[in-house]
Amino acid sequence: MTTDGSARAFCIDGRDIVNRAIDIHKTAPTATAALGRTLLAASLMGSMMGEKEDVLTLRFKGDGEGGAILACSDYMGNVRGHNENHQSERPLRAVDGKLDVRRCVGKGLLNVLRDTGGKEPYSGVSPIVSGEIAEDIAYYFATSEQVPSICALGVLVDTDYSCKCAGGLIIQLLPFADPSIADKLEENVKKRSAVTTELGEKGLEGLLAGYLEGIEYELFDEFDCGYVCNCSRDRTDRALISLGKKELQSMIDDEQQTFELGCQFCEKKYRYGKADLKKLLESAK
C-alpha cells in the first residue's frame, strides 16, 4: 500500500503454480503461457477478497484455438485451473519471437465471478480486448468495476517445456487517489521490462519496487500460495447423486461395469463400480 493510501499493489512469484499446472495438464508452451497468466491473475484477484469461503473464478471464453480458460482462486491466492485445449501451440510471433498468447486466446468475453459465501455472487463481464490476459484484466477492472488498474503478468517457458519463471502484479488506484501518484505509476510502467526479466533479476520485491519507484509504500503481508485442488470423493458422490435416480439407474443397468469420473483441474480419477452406484441411488431423488 502506498503510504498516502492512493494505491494498493499485489504481486506474485508463481513459478511453482505454473509448473504444477504443466505437470497436471501436460500443456504445450503457448497453452502454458495462456493458462499460467490466467492462474496468476486469478491468484492475485483471489487474494484481494477477504473471507475464508470466498471464491474467485476467471473465465476467458475466446474463439482462439486454445479454447476457454478457467481459473479459480480462494482468498489466500490458492488456485487451480484448466484450458480446453492443453495442446494449443502457435508458431512464435514473427515480430519478437515470443509465444503468441493472443492468438491462442482469441476474441470473446472475460467473466469474473466472486462467490462470497451466502450472499448473491458478484459477476462481471468485459470483452477480451487483447488476448494477452494482463491487458484484459486491466480493461476489465477499468470498465466493469471502475477501478483504474495496472496489470502485468509473465510466464517464461523453458526449452524443456517447464516454467522457468512466472509472476505478475496488479496495482489499483484507490478512491481519492492523489493524481500525482497516478502519473508517477504511469511513468514507471513505461520504463518496465518484461515481468519475468525483472522478477528473474531482482526478485519479487525488486519487481514491485520498479513499479513503485519514487513512491513511498509499505509491505503489509506476505504469504504462500500454490496450485491446490479441493476435489474429493465426497464431492464426486454428490455430483452423481444430483444426476437423479433415473440417470443413476441407467448407469447401473449399463453394460459398462465401472465408471471413471475425472477432475478437470487435477486430472484425478474417481472410479465407481455398480455397488458404489447402488449406494448412491439410495440418496438420490
State the residues that interact with Zn ion by CB under 5 A. 229, 231, 263, 265-266, 268
The CA R_g of the chain, rounded to the nearest whole Å, is 21
Smallest separation (angstroms) from Zn ion to the CB of 188: 39
Smallest separation (angstroms) from Zn ion to the CB of 6: 40
Compute φ and ψ for 147, nearest 5 degrees. -120, 110
> Grid coordinates in use for 149?
488498474
Instruction: Pick between residue 212 and residue 229 the one whose CB is nearest to Zn ion.
Output: 229
Instruction: Pick between residue 46 and residue 167 the one whose CB is nearest to Zn ion.
Output: 46
Instruction: Say which amino acid occupies 91.
Output: P
CA 37 to CA 186: how far, in whole Å?
A: 22
CA distances, 189 to each of 52, 194, 202, 240 (Å): 33, 11, 16, 49
Smallest separation (angstroms) from Zn ion to the CB of 127: 30
Instruction: Pick between residue 56 and residue 151 the one whose CB is nearest to Zn ion.
Output: 56
Instruction: Pick between residue 204 and residue 261 the one whose CB is nearest to Zn ion.
Output: 261
Close Cβ partners of 99 (under 8 Å, ≥ 6 residues apart): 29, 30, 33, 90, 92, 93, 157
CA distances, 212 to each of 218, 220, 226, 264 (Å): 11, 15, 26, 38
Residue 203: CB atoms within 10 A of its CB come to: 13
Instruction: Pick between residue 40 and residue 263 the one whose CB is nearest to Zn ion.
Output: 263
Smallest separation (angstroms) from Zn ion to the CB of 259: 17
Instruction: Pick between residue 10 and residue 265 the one whose CB is nearest to Zn ion.
Output: 265
Torsion of CA 199, 195, 31, 143, to 10 degrees: 140
Smallest separation (angstroms) from Zn ion to the CB of 84: 17
Chain-centroid distance of CA 23 in Å reads 16
Smallest separation (angstroms) from Zn ion to the CB of 249: 27
Instruction: Pick between residue 17 and residue 153 the one whose CB is nearest to Zn ion.
Output: 17
Q: Quick check: 15 and 166 in contact, CB under 8 A?
A: yes
HSE (side-chain half, CA atoms, 13 Å) at 269 = 5
Smallest separation (angstroms) from Zn ion to the CB of 262: 9
